[in-house]
Amino acid sequence: MYLDTESDGEGDLLPSFANYNPEGDSSEEDSDECSCANGRCVRSYLGTMCECNPGFRMDHSRTHCTDINECAEPGLRLNSCINARCVNTLGSFRCFCKRDFIPSRIPNMCIPRRAQ
């Protein structure tokens, strides 16, 4: 048994400025080259920027969106599974109920199976 969950997305959209050109030369800014896997390219007055999808964040190079491990990430423990094993997935996570537990109506939580 498992509970499928989605990352809550709070704080997951982290803009990164790429192709910023303070001189206003639009030659690079107007280019169609915008690599933003697991995110989307957005044009603004500052140039092209990448916004990461929920469950992803900018890597250290500030040019790619990488998966957040919701099961191990400090500060995201609110998403941890209760009475279940947390398994990270691309952009999200899943909770697999422990033996003798079943999914509850509360997200990310399993409750004891009643004795028959």
DSSP 63: S
Share of the chain above pLDDT 70, in %: 66
Rounded alpha-carbon distances, angstroms, from residue 96 to 19, 52, 65, 105, 109: 43, 27, 26, 14, 9
CA torsion 37→40→45→48, rounded to 10°? 20
Same domain for 60 and 80?
no
**Higher confidence at residue 36 or residue 54?**
54
Residues 74 and 63 in one domain: no
Position 66 pLDDT exceeds 50: yes
One domain for residues 59 and 85: no
Against a cut of 0.75, is the pTM above it? no
Alpha helices in 8-89 (DSSP H): 26-29
Residues paired with 67 in a beta bridge: 56
In this structure, are 25 and 57 located in the same domain?
A: yes
> The CATH number of the domain where 83 resides is what?
2.10.25.10
| Spatial CA neighbour of 56 closest among 13, 15, 108, 101 | 13
Task: Tell me the residue range of the domain where 26 lies.
Answer: 16-67
Query: What is the total count of domains within the chain?
Result: 2
